[in-house]
């Protein structure tokens, strides 16, 4: 369901009574506004690790993009086919002090970004587009068929004190990309709908200052007569000043007003804005890296979209740094499957259930290339990987069929959550904690 109606969108973003908007205006957590006495009795959030908690921008696509054809780890074998366009020529880059070869666009990422970028070679074990929901459920590795963005959100919401625990999609293009939370489909909020609702002259952001004063006045009696000195100090430490509210309003209005369409760049801007508003711990976007390119002559679409996709990632990292969130937001990418890599793939690629590349970028990650790729069934597939180092190879103790679960377990460990809530489809998956900071 794509949300466009103002009333539904406001309820989705800010909850009943727009409590989330009052939280934004005051700086006070939603839990305190909903039940002040109970929240004051136990103000500390319940979560695995406050210090490791991260907001997540989660990229996913049901197209099965050929992102796996341009990244480090696929240039050691000369039989793997890459785009011959000069803009995709092989280039050298350094990650974690080690030299790799990748398509030229990846070499344009700043070194500070590359040093916290991980390329994960694995497999999703499906060649079917509509099975993206099952891939997001990690092909049976989650409990009760929970989608992985939902697993992340449930672990992070108590730590971050977000307005809602449910993940939000601003970029789903097909039904298979729609997120679920505890089995319930979540609405899609396009960037343009977010802009038109929140930047309206009579919209909610224009009334933040009076809403702040009104909310604080309603809490005054409790603050004056029902709170201990320590509880008053706790509230005082959270309350946003009127000047801060003015800055918040102006910054958000400026960011939202620059949204012109529902493109991937606009999705990134919408995701960062929603994070600044503390709406949800996980925001899903859709970045193209070549799409469903069966008849892609000379791999032209793969070239154009990979160049644009990497540029979008670079822009996202710069925007996060500009607003001071570079260490509080992680980027993760998981698509339904990868593409064939062998000879004969110069004018398009086919579905590859045996090789896929996931990404992870953030302050919790040691940059590197994990897992590997090797000839398999007349094409190429993911190798096993080591649970100690993440290195790919036949001697790895994590079987190829478990690499998707191992990636997800490691992502959970990176945010301080328990990776054992996931199961191992063939019994070998583990969180590879050595690749985390």
Domain interval for residue 267:
47-190+262-435
Let me know if residue 41 belongs to a domain. no
- Residue 203: what pLDDT? 80
Let me know if residue 195 belongs to a domain. no
Residue 310 near residue 302 (C-beta atoms within 8 A): no
- What span, in angstroms and rounded, lies between the C-alpha atoms of 302 and 294? 11
**Are 148 and 11 found together in one domain?**
no
**Are 340 and 285 found together in one domain?**
yes
- Residue 50: what pLDDT? 66
- Residue 375: what pLDDT? 98
Q: How many CA atoms lie within 13 A of 62 on its CB side?
A: 16
**Are 327 and 427 found together in one domain?**
yes
Regions in the chain scoring below 70 on pLDDT: 1, 3-5, 42-50
Let me know if residue 196 belongs to a domain. no
**Are 310 and 379 found together in one domain?**
yes
Using DSSP, state whether 382 is helix, strand or coil.
strand
Residue 398: what are its φ and ψ, rounded to 5°? -95, 115
Residue 122 near residue 369 (C-beta atoms within 8 A): no
- The DSSP code for 223 is I
**Are 60 and 106 found together in one domain?**
yes
**Are 371 and 343 found together in one domain?**
yes
Let me know if residue 197 belongs to a domain. no
**Are 10 and 66 found together in one domain?**
no
Domains in the chain: how many in total? 2
Could you tell me where the DSSP H helices lie in 170-299? 191-198, 208-218, 220-221, 229-238, 242-257, 264-276
- What span, in angstroms and rounded, lies between the C-alpha atoms of 306 and 26? 42
pLDDT tens for 162-196 read 989 999 999 999 999 999 999 999 989 999 999 99
**Are 141 and 220 found together in one domain?**
no
Q: How many other C-beta atoms lie within 10 A of the C-beta of residue 76?
A: 11
Question: Which helix (H) or strand (E) is 406 found in, with range?
Answer: helix 403-414
Using DSSP, state whether 179 is helix, strand or coil.
coil
Phi-psi region of 224 (alpha: psi -120 to 50; beta: other; left: phi over 0): alpha
**Are 299 and 421 found together in one domain?**
yes
Let me know if residue 255 belongs to a domain. no
Let me know if residue 167 belongs to a domain. yes
Pairing of strands 168-169, 282-285: parallel
Residue found under tokens 């990404």:
359
- The DSSP code for 385 is B
**Are 272 and 176 found together in one domain?**
yes
Q: Which CATH number fits the domain that encloses residue 139?
A: 3.40.720
**Are 106 and 163 found together in one domain?**
yes
pTM above 0.85, yes or no: yes
Let me know if residue 308 belongs to a domain. yes
- What span, in angstroms and rounded, lies between the C-alpha atoms of 270 and 264? 10
**Are 118 and 207 found together in one domain?**
no
Phi-psi region of 393 (alpha: psi -120 to 50; beta: other; left: phi over 0): left
Let me know if residue 257 belongs to a domain. no
- What span, in angstroms and rounded, lies between the C-alpha atoms of 277 and 269? 12
CA dihedral 15→240→161→224, nearest 10 degrees, is -90
- What span, in angstroms and rounded, lies between the C-alpha atoms of 12 and 207? 19
């Amino acid at each position: 369901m794509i949300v466009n109606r103002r009333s539904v969108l406001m309820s989705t973003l800010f909850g009943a009574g727009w409590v989330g908007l009052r939280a934004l205006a005051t700086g006070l957590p939603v839990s305190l506004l909903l039940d002040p006495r109970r929240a004051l009795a136990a103000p500390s959030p319940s979560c695995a690790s406050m210090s490791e908690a991260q907001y997540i921008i989660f990229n996913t696509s049901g197209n099965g993009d050929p992102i796996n054809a341009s990244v480090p780890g696929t240039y050691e074998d000369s039989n793997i086919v890459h785009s011959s366009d000069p803009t995709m020529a092989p280039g050298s880059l350094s990650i974690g002090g080690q030299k790799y070869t990748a398509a030229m666009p990846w070499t344009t990422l700043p070194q500070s970004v590359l040093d916290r970028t991980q390329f994960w070679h694995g497999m999703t074990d499906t060649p079917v587009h509509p099975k993206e929901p099952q891939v997001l459920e990690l092909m049976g590795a989650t409990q009760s068929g929970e989608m992985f963005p939902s697993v992340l959100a449930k672990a992070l919401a108590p730590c971050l004190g977000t307005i809602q625990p449910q993940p939000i999609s601003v970029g789903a293009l097909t039904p298979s990309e729609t997120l679920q939370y505890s089995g319930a489909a979540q609405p899609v909020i396009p960037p343009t709908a977010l802009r038109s609702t929140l930047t309206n002259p009579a919209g909610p952001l224009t009334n933040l200052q009076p809403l702040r004063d009104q909310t604080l006045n309603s809490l005054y009696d409790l603050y004056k007569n029902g709170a201990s000195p320590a509880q008053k100090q706790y509230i005082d430490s959270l309350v946003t000043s009127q000047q801060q509210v003015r800055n918040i309003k102006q910054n958000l209005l400026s960011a939202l007003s620059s949204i012109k369409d529902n493109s991937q760049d606009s999705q990134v801007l919408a995701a960062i804005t929603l994070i600044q508003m503390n709406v949800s711990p996980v925001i899903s976007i859709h970045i193209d890296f070549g799409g469903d390119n069966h008849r892609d002559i000379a791999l032209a679409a793969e070239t154009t979209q990979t160049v644009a996709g990497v540029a979008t990632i670079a822009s996202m990292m710069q925007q996060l740094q500009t607003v001071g969130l570079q260490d509080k937001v992680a980027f993760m990418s998981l698509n339904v499957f990868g593409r064939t890599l062998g000879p004969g793939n110069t004018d398009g690629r086919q579905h590859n259930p045996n090789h896929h590349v996931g990404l992870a970028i953030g302050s919790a990650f040691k940059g590197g290339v994990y897992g590997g790729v090797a000839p398999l069934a007349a094409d190429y597939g993911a190798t096993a990987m080591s649970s100690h180092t993440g290195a790919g190879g036949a001697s790895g103790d994590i079987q190829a069929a478990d690499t998707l679960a191992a990636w997800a377990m490691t992502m959970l460990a990176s945010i301080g959550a328990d990776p054992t809530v996931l199961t191992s489809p063939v019994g070998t998956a583990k969180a590879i904690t050595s690749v985390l900071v």
